[in-house]
Structure 1
Amino acid sequence: MGADAATPADSALVRRSNLSLVLRRFRDEGPRTRARVADETGLNKATVSSLVAELVDRGLLREGQIERLGAVGRPGQVIELDGRRVCGIGIEVNVDYVTALIVDLGGRVVADERLPLDVPALRPDAVLDATADLVARAVSAAHRAGSTPAGVTVAVPALVDVGTGTLRFAPNFGWRDMPVARALAERLGEPPYPIRVDNDANLSALAEHVAGAGAGVRNLVYLTGEVGVGAGVISEGRLLRGSAGLSGEVGHMPLGAGTELCGCGRRGCWETTVGLGALLRMAADPKDPVRDPARDVEDRLTELRRRAEEGHERTLTALRQIGTDLGTGASVLVNLFDPELIMLGGYFAMLGDFFLADMTESLRTRIVDPNATRCEVVLSTLGFSAAARGGAHVALEGVLADPTTVPPAVPEGSERSSSLV
């Protein structure tokens, strides 16, 4: 046999690669005909027809309308992404809540749930138990919708070893060296889908880059607006992780006043002046219901927004101060990364219209060359779901990389797989 002869393994690898290429084309560019895909990818028409047929058989694509572009030539049938049979589950564990979001391959939200949870006040085992219960409910909801989870990705406000799914340090939880992925897999009975763990700001940045207001923007910085403040940085279309995957902990830049103790054990961290805790301290007394971590965070922020809209001076003063301090820290990020967009997420997005002018003014006075910088500050449209949505996107990446992980669809009228309970 010649050295250049293709082995069956080589052929299978090439076909998986081509299936991925075609599926991504439909996911990224929308409906198109087989002939157009052949032109765009350089694959021959027979190969594209075979690949599309397999992706249709796996329930990832579906045949649409006939496209007629004039009277000359044969009409082509439009193929479009389906993706209802497979979904990604994004989970976020944050200081005062846990949330789940199920997104199918077509980008449709299948279900979502958020529970108030005072994470720092609970033992890690109790938090992991609650998280595993939430995952189990999400998986059941996916199955009821006729969708099979491709994976689960857990977002945490922490330094994370992504390769092992280990939380290295979560200052606002008080956790160190917690094998989150392993612990959840054990609680869920070693499920067939992979469980990953990643930083919440990184996943939020990915969500914005793929499906949010920053979709398609190649250089952006996403700032979380939670008790902690983190940054996810997209540079030239790629997420920056740093040499050890620990980048983005901007909340601990020494830009604070130095009076409040940070969760990391230091004073003077930026998040002690712009994090949610800082806003609540400035805007409300300790007994005020908006400072009750047992209440849903969006309910509390809705109340603060109502007060701001009614002209409550203490609330407005607090928000203006947040804007000024936010601009100070953001200027460091603009000078470092020169992004096209700074995306404000979490509570920043929910209340940002009250402090955006103050932030922009503070930012422009501190960046190196305001006239040359093209950076725009915008509010996230994904709200508190950004990290979970990014997690669902990461979970679905395995399907996009290898569509053969999705089994062929059960023919209509046949008995459903016992896994879809």
Structure 2
Amino acid sequence: MLTEGRRPGTGTGAADHVSLRRNNLSVVLRHVRAAGPRSRARIAAETGLNKATVSSLVAELVERGLLREGQAESERGTLGRPGQLVELDGTRVCGVGAEINVDYLAVAALDLSGDVVTERRVPLDVAHLDPAVTLDQLAELIRAAVAAVAERNGLTAGVTLAVPGLVQSTTGSLKLAPNLGWSEVPVVDEMRARLGAPAYPVRVDNEANLAALAAYSELKKDADTKADDIMLLTGAIGVGGGMVAGGHLLRGGHGFSGEVGHMPVAPSGGICGCGRTGCWETVVGLTALLNKATDPDDPVRDPSLDVEQRLAEITRRAEAGASRTLRALADVGTWLGIGGAILVNVLNPDVLVLGGYFAVLGPWLKEPLENAIRDRVIAPEGGGCRVVQSTLGFAAAVRGGAQISLDQVFHDPTLIGRDTSGVAQ
């Protein structure tokens, strides 16, 4: 990274100075995010920037509403001359994430500190609706989230849409979402039109990728957890996967990675939403579990019922020892381990994270899953991979989307205008 005292590049003049200043603002802001509240002197020592430069950068970041003055350093037990700490300011800038899934829509706004400002999920039978109707309803949820940010004098840095399918993030288009029945939908253009061409950017990404980023952030909060490389498996009607390696999301050569639900693991299995036979999600998706555990007229299959209510009923039956439910969970857990073993053999993550409905029903899925991985992974002790349950539930993708929107600010703090009045513009 460029810092003062290093050559900023081959060019000269004002443009180089502006670029260097922007980079150094990012260095300081990202350092405070990673390391926590710091005095100006300590930031200078840890980043290699000189003290005068850090003082100037901090002052600008405070004006932009990204940092704020904290308590005196001596109050935290630091010896020597006390310094004024600076910390992330979570009051002004927020990112919004929104999700389209088979049977629900969701939205969340996070502030710069990662705290939830607003969060909502509504059941909706998306697979049987025209895309325009779904996008209309999602736009209403986004507008409400942006309004909630504005009510606290906040500024929306961006909106990131999460969808379960093949996404071209660079063009803002959804190429194919088999479980939604959507193809070639310019979701970013459609959403921007519904939101009235907002000043903030609108992006789209695969929901499993965004959920993986949120799960990675969740694990990094635990100082005792070694999680440089994680694989998230998220389950609903479909199944997706996201891999974070060394803190970076693996998207693949064309950005289409993560469609693990379509690995052919059961050649004699059922027909998948993609039209192929025996995809992994046909044996581990929520539909597969419900087909094994319930009768066709069971109310728990009603797609208009919120997914958490449906899972609460499955949990109740499992806790009551219902034999059919327990057999279904054991079967799904074993198939989850069969596919998971393939991923562990190929990618060797430190941690395999269960998200979505897999996390909710983890107490019954985890043991057969781990047994299957241990039996099928060639490396000793399952390749050292641990299986953990995410605590984010069905909020992972929207929180990951909000994080993506905020990450742009961390990489370029000048995207947020100076606010010397103390009120977001």
Pairwise same-fold verdict (TM > 0.5) = yes
Matched, 1:389 2:399: yes
Question: Where does residue 20 of structure 2 map in the other structure?
Answer: 14
Equivalent of 1:275 in 278, 285, 291: 285
1:349 paired to 2:359: yes
Match of 2:417 among 393, 407, 415: 407
Matched, 1:34 2:17: no
8 Å contact from structure 2 (residues 269, 283) kept in 1: no
Distance 1:5 1:280, change over 3 A: closer
Instruction: Please name the residue that 1:65 is paired with.
Output: 71
Number of equivalent positions: 413
- Matched with 1:130 is 137
Name the SS of the counterpart of 2:239 in structure 1.
coil
State the Cα distance separating 1:79 from its structure 2 match: 1.1
Runs of at least 5 residues in structure 1 that lack an aligned partner in the other structure: none
**In structure 1, how many angstroms separate the alpha carbons of the residues matched to 2:395 and 2:267?**
31
Q: What SS does the corresponding residue of 2:119 show, helix, strand or coil?
A: strand
Partner of 1:286: 296
- Is 1:80 aligned to residue 87 of structure 2? yes
1:153 to 160, 170, 177: 160
Q: Note the C-alpha offset of 1:74.
A: 2.9
Counterpart residue type for residue 251 of structure 1: G
Match of 2:60 among 30, 54, 62: 54
Runs of 5+ consecutive residues of structure 2 not aligned to the other structure: 1-8
Q: Residues of 2 paired with 1:393 and 1:141: CA distance?
A: 17
Superposed CA RMSD: 1.8
Question: Structure 1 residues 138 and 93 mapped into 2: Cα distance closer, same or farther (>3 Å)?
Answer: same
Q: CA deviation at 1:142?
A: 1.1
1: CA distance between counterparts of 2:139 and 2:342?
38
Q: Does the 8 Å contact 1:110/1:145 carry over to 2?
A: no
Provide TM-score, normalisation by structure 1.
0.94
What is the aligned partner in structure 2 of residue 25 from structure 1? 31
Equivalent position of 1:380 in the other structure:
390
Q: Read off the aligned partner of 1:117 and give its amino acid letter.
A: L
Q: CA deviation at 1:73?
A: 4.8
Output the CA distance in 2 between the equivalents of 1:389 and 1:4: 39
Q: Does 1:209 align with 2:216?
A: yes
CA apart distance, 1:4: 7.5
Q: Report the TM-score, using the length of structure 2 for normalisation.
A: 0.94
Using the TM superposition, give the Cα deviation of residue 410 of structure 1 relative to its aligned residue in structure 2, in angstroms: 4.7
Are the counterparts in 2 of residues 214 and 220 from structure 1 also a CA contact under 8 Å?
Answer: no
Partner of 2:336: 326
**CA 1:257/1:301 → structure 2, altered by over 3 Å: closer, same or farther?**
farther
Matches within 5 A, 1:150-299: 150-212=157-219, 217-256=227-266, 258-299=268-309
- Asked whether the 8 Å contact 1:95–1:118 carries over to 2, the reply is yes
Distance 1:213 1:97, change over 3 A: farther
Structure 1 residue runs of 4+, over 6 Å off?
69-72, 213-216
